[in-house]
Structure 1
Amino acid sequence: MTYKRIEDYGLIGNMHTAALVGNDGSIDWLCLPFFDSPAIFNSILDDDKGGRFSISAVDAVDNRQIYFPETNILITRFGSDHSAAQVTDFMPGHEEHDPAGDPWTGDSGDICCSDSKVIRLVHGVLGKTNMRMECTPAFEFAGTGHQVERTSNGVVFTSDAGQKLSLTANCEFDIENGSAFANFALDHGESIAFVLEQLESSSATPTSFTADEADEQFKETVEFWRDWVSKCTYQGRWREEVIRSLLALKLLTFSPTGAIIAAPTASLPEEIGGERNWDYRYCWIRDAALTIDAFMRMGYVDEARGFMRWLGSRTRESNGSSDSPLQIMYGIRGEHQLEEKTLDHLSGYRDSQPVRIGNGAYDQFQLDIYGELMESVYIYNRHGWPISYDMWMSLSGILDWVAGNWQRPDEGIWEVRGGRKHFVHSKLMAWNALAKGLKLADERSFPANRDLWISARDEIFHEIMDKGWNEEIQSFTQSYGSSVVDAALLQLLNIGALSPRDPRMISTLKRIEETLVRDSLVYRYDPEESLDGLSGTEGTFTMCTFWLAESYTRAGRLDDARFLFERMIGYASPLGLFAEETGPTGDMLGNFPQAFTHLALINSAFILNRALDQQQS
């Protein structure tokens, strides 16, 4: 089996679903019709039987991939000594958000279908290029069979469960063992368009485009993305990297509901051959709230409103639960149960098993989500759209709950599966939830249980200083009574709980540098310790490196911050994308692309650029 590196993929999508396209012209991951649907092409999880949709030049000796500037349109180029061709891959965009009304009380309704098309426009660039197309779907994560039949302008694949997938193009198709093939040649200037889509009914007519019609779709999609990029208010030093990160985050939004997924993939490993393989195609409260912070800083209010609409629905569903007002994560439509299963028939990326779909962490208790949530609401109210009374009453009920439940141990930001602890970061974020709630209440003169919130806020802070501090190692620790440090402790500085000149913060930062930093890359906790209840190790956590750059910035260490930030930028994929983690040789690990990483890049770039400007003024 031959697997591409994770960084050898680009992402296309339409805010309903997304596809990974390799630099060899192969779509190796696509779920239809939505992000959380079973994959139709998933050879990234099993190169032998996972299915793919490939278009490549037969005699190519070189291939490379770029994004069309300021878009999510991919161009894969193939070349030889005497010929060249390119494949332009895109999905026409979908936007359903309503810019009017109160997002907190909105309701997206049912989402039953999606007009998702993958358009692959193949164009001859030089000489005569012999091309080959292969389409081999593997429905239901390669868990069910299918049949294929010719149509007047292509083929239709029908799974044993009744799912239909059409592929059209102006060429001859061959059918063999459930796959469709096409061999064709393009002279300079000639083009052919392939259109892949799911048919919602047996009577639906497959879409077919001429090359000129596909080119019009291409131009409309370019205009869609460039119009969206034009709203970005960031004009700083790293605009190209920030724009690419924003475009990636936009592809991770589920437009019908406003939910934001953590990543579009499932079970890409955090260690090759290891068991840390998770399904990230869901909406984490923490990740989405922090993504909204990044969007808001860059001028994107509509995305924030979409998420607030989704969040409002989740809050109304909670009905004041005494266990926890909110789950840590939900499905993209707000599903509460995300049953985790293993797909034992798939070998996993580079034999990394188990392959998991669903996510068993959905019922974990993670106290920190309320701190990230209130941070985003505070920024949204100040810079986006003033929150409503109804929204505030829902939030104040949550803050009452935080004030009465912050003492409980939890699974923490890293979703450990080895039991609950009193994580310092979790307590810090409970403090932040109450601190931001009080600031918001004061700024808007909202009614609030101020005495309760102030008392709990101050009690949390005292306890962090007492039980979260290890006098022997002169550092805050991951959890009470521990001697292990955690990169999440950087948030003590980044959210303003401690001054960069506080002796405890200075010594904690030094301890993190000594313990967790390897050649400028940052582990989330000691890689020699198995702190999450699982065997094996993992790579450095890319988001944490950007967190450290932000901490250096806030501490006034601007030379260190810029060096670290720009060195981390150098670990991006050739297309400017990041996975969750970085391996020892610079290879990417974990699900890809990762919202956490890209939002941390945006926030770090924003804060560092502002500090550098102030230094020069």
Structure 2
Amino acid sequence: MGHLVRAGLRECSRRKAVTMGTSEYARIADHGLIGDLRTTALVATDGTIDWWCVPRFDSPSVFASLVDQRTGGHCRIRPARSDAPGRQLYFPDTAVLITRFSTDEGIGEVVDFMPPSPDPADATPRWLVRMVRCVRGRMDFRLDIAPRFDYGRALHQTVVTDEGALFESADTSVVLHTIREPGDTALRLVGELDLHAEITLETGQVRGIVLEQNPLGPPRALPVAEVERAFQDTVRFWHTWLSRSTYQGRWREAVDRSAITLKLLTHAPSGALVAAPTAGLPEQLGGERNWDYRYTWVRDASFAVSSLLDLGFTDEATAFARWLADRYEEGGIGPSGPLRVLYRVDGSPDVPEQVLDHWEGHRGSAPVRVGNAAGDQLQLDIYGELFDALYRAHQHGLRVGRPGWRALCGLLDWLADNWDRTDEGIWETRGGRRDFTYGRVMSWVAFDRGLRLAAELGLPAPVERWRAARDLVHDQVWQHGWNPERRAFTQQYGGEVLDASLLRMARAGFVAPQEPAWLDTLAAMERDLVVDGQVLRYDPAASPDGLVGSEGTFSLCTFDYVGALARSGRSAEARLLFERALTHANHLGLHAEEIGLTGEQLGNFPQAFTHLALIDAAVTLDRLCGTEPGPGLWVG
């Protein structure tokens, strides 16, 4: 069985780890995403997997050198004789990532993928496959693998065999299987807790490794043919899934990549969607705005479902609706009412926030947080986003059954009693509760969509109560959310600060897109929040949010701005800004949360918010581009 070594993590780090300066971190944008509908991994252009949590999105990490080079852990495969970064591409219309390397001796590739299983009942251990092949000439590859379990806090032991290796901590184990042909010499794995191997390939040869989460058996040598079948199955899955898209517009490549990204953020066993697959990536380099987004926000998931519905994907909406119904059936009134702001993917509300103070953070951006205290906030807007998504599902032919309708009635009855409360708002500020205008607008949306569903489905409901609440909210927003001096709807009642969340007012139907008050609001936002076509959420200096520092432009808001311009008749300008926003994608078409002053991607990556808003903007432009405002769009 080879040799067994058990050692302390700190001792191993002192003896073997290579300490890298903050300048040696891969940039956030220099990554591709792979996943299996349970979890995901980030692969940098130098062939390093520097983020991987198992077995789920919200599980502790095994590789996390993206946020701490010293003790985060990594798996790197790259040419032995070159420090040049690779060039990445996706196998067309899939989540199979190819990183190509060129040297004087040849050209090689690392093909990374995770075979997905959409079957919620499938308990088969999951694979992360790293196929290494020589395309031309000869290439010597170097493999280095240094797992660090439980965010680098847990001890583990390493067992090396002729077939591969086992990495095992108290709670998690990962097996390394080798990929080779019969008669090959086993990969030479050398080390204690960490392993190293050299792989020499000639033209056409394929070798590599497979990492298996919580395996059922020991390491084994996998024939190349078996792994290539897994590759073909993975390609077939993504091609089959994407073929259901009904999108035929101008920006098909960007929209398809965004759709695949949203699907990768879906947890198949539960139907939940996470906001992003990462934690701790900074919104400002060196700043404290470093959050954990590996959970399911009712708001973000509702937005994502709506965007996927616009592309013809209905299964995701059905699965998410069932997941939400389970949350409601669990009963109880929490900080945000019958539904919490966010949950773990299995529906657990237990997401306590903690700081990993042994990690330095991405490029020195501490603190690194896991968990998220926003789960204990009151955010009234989540009900509007949920009901809007459910109404869109209804428009796409999905029907609400009687038990589901009773649950929805319970939500709206609670909201009718609670909509006129201060809350923390969509941006989850930590400076205290306020009368946020966006929260009231989305409360109006919740009542409006509930009334529409009741009327169109002929279902029993206290419609008079809902209608009265809807009308009260509408009048209140116009009375207190509109600032006549600023000629704009403002972030808070009676305030002067603008907020880009209100770009969704016309899309939600609260105001007409040609209404003078709305056009004035757009003009005010352009003066205060728009920078070279990119949009800030709000000004933290003018509206303190309880946090230190600033942030970049928020890509969700940029794409929302594009949609708002198009609806208001400025389609040519909207199209130009959309094309410019697409240039901020990385080399694979992936977007983070924000864009910094230098154009660098910031925040957790890739971000569901950004990709769903990209889809919304593209669909809106396809529908409205080339049209001009005409009579009847607004009647004063």
**TM class, shorter-chain normalised?**
over 0.9
| Residues 3-42 of structure 1 mapped to structure 2, 5 A cutoff | 3-42=25-64
User: What is the match of residue 591 of structure 1?
Assistant: 604
User: What is the match of residue 94 of structure 2?
Assistant: 71
Q: Contact 1:258–1:307 at 8 Å: present in 2 too?
A: yes
Q: Contact 1:148–1:175 at 8 Å: present in 2 too?
A: no
CA distance in 1, matches of 2:367, 2:168: 28
Report the secondary structure of 2:199's partner residue. strand
Shift of 1:96: 2.1
The answer to whether 1:330 aligns with 2:343 is yes
**Do the aligned partners of residues 59 and 465 (structure 1) sit closer, same or farther apart at CA in structure 2, a change above 3 Å counting?**
same
**Do the aligned partners of residues 207 and 284 (structure 1) sit closer, same or farther apart at CA in structure 2, a change above 3 Å counting?**
farther
User: What is the match of residue 14 of structure 2?
Assistant: none
| Residues 435-584 of structure 1 mapped to structure 2, 5 A cutoff | 435-526=448-539, 528-529=541-542, 531-584=544-597
| Residues 162-173 of structure 1 mapped to structure 2, 5 A cutoff | 162-169=171-178, 170=180, 171-173=186-188
CA distance in 1, matches of 2:393, 2:193: 51
Q: Contact 2:565–2:573 at 8 Å: present in 1 too?
A: yes
| Ranges in structure 2 where 5+ consecutive residues have no aligned partner | 1-20, 181-185, 630-636
Shift of 1:501: 2.0
The answer to whether 1:94 aligns with 2:117 is yes
Letter in 1 for 2:64: N
The answer to whether 1:118 aligns with 2:128 is yes
TM-score, reference length from structure 1: 0.95
Shift of 1:613: 6.6
Residue 151 (structure 1) aligned to one of 156, 161, 166: 161
The answer to whether 1:264 aligns with 2:254 is no
CA distance in 1, matches of 2:321, 2:375: 20
TM-score, reference length from structure 2: 0.92
CA distance in 2, matches of 1:418, 1:503: 33
Q: Deviations over 1:543-585 (max 9, x none)?
A: 0000000001111110111011111001001000001111111
User: What is the match of residue 416 of structure 1?
Assistant: 429
Shift of 1:320: 6.1
User: What is the match of residue 12 of structure 2?
Assistant: none
| Ranges in structure 1 where 5+ consecutive residues have no aligned partner | 98-107
CA distance in 1, matches of 2:435, 2:57: 34
CA distance in 2, matches of 1:229, 1:613: 28
Q: Contact 1:192–1:210 at 8 Å: present in 2 too?
A: no
| Residues 105-504 of structure 1 mapped to structure 2, 5 A cutoff | 115-159=125-169, 161-169=170-178, 170=180, 171-200=186-215, 204-206=217-219, 208-319=221-332, 324-504=337-517
Q: Contact 2:569–2:627 at 8 Å: present in 1 too?
A: no
User: What is the match of residue 183 of structure 2?
Assistant: none
**Do the aligned partners of residues 186 and 374 (structure 1) sit closer, same or farther apart at CA in structure 2, a change above 3 Å counting?**
same
Shift of 1:127: 0.9
Shift of 1:481: 1.6
Shift of 1:62: 5.2
Q: Contact 1:193–1:209 at 8 Å: present in 2 too?
A: no
Q: Contact 2:333–2:339 at 8 Å: present in 1 too?
A: no
Q: Contact 1:267–1:278 at 8 Å: present in 2 too?
A: yes
Q: Contact 2:575–2:625 at 8 Å: present in 1 too?
A: no
Shift of 1:125: 0.9
CA distance in 2, matches of 1:174, 1:238: 46
Letter in 2 for 1:38: P
Q: Deviations over 1:25-81 (max 9, x none)?
A: 100000111111110000001012211001001223452000000000000000023
**Do the aligned partners of residues 255 and 475 (structure 1) sit closer, same or farther apart at CA in structure 2, a change above 3 Å counting?**
same
Residue 71 (structure 2) aligned to one of 49, 55, 60: 49
Q: Contact 1:435–1:457 at 8 Å: present in 2 too?
A: yes
Letter in 2 for 1:47: Q
Letter in 2 for 1:74: L
User: What is the match of residue 104 of structure 1?
Assistant: none
**Do the aligned partners of residues 199 and 451 (structure 1) sit closer, same or farther apart at CA in structure 2, a change above 3 Å counting?**
closer
User: What is the match of residue 102 of structure 1?
Assistant: none
CA distance in 1, matches of 2:336, 2:45: 47
**Do the aligned partners of residues 36 and 420 (structure 1) sit closer, same or farther apart at CA in structure 2, a change above 3 Å counting?**
same
Report the secondary structure of 1:89's partner residue. strand
Letter in 2 for 1:175: V
Shift of 1:150: 1.2
The percentage of aligned residue pairs carrying the same residue is: 45
CA distance in 1, matches of 2:574, 2:293: 30
The alignment yields a C-alpha RMSD, in angstroms, of 1.6
**Do the aligned partners of residues 409 and 425 (structure 1) sit closer, same or farther apart at CA in structure 2, a change above 3 Å counting?**
same
Shift of 1:527: 5.1
Report the secondary structure of 2:238's partner residue. helix
Q: Deviations over 1:187-212 (max 9, x none)?
A: 111110311112345xx233542222
| Residues 591-610 of structure 1 mapped to structure 2, 5 A cutoff | 591-610=604-623
Shift of 1:471: 1.6
Q: Contact 2:483–2:490 at 8 Å: present in 1 too?
A: yes
CA distance in 2, matches of 1:114, 1:272: 40
Q: Contact 1:154–1:173 at 8 Å: present in 2 too?
A: no
More moved, 541-550 vs 176-185: 176-185
User: What is the match of residue 83 of structure 1?
Assistant: 106
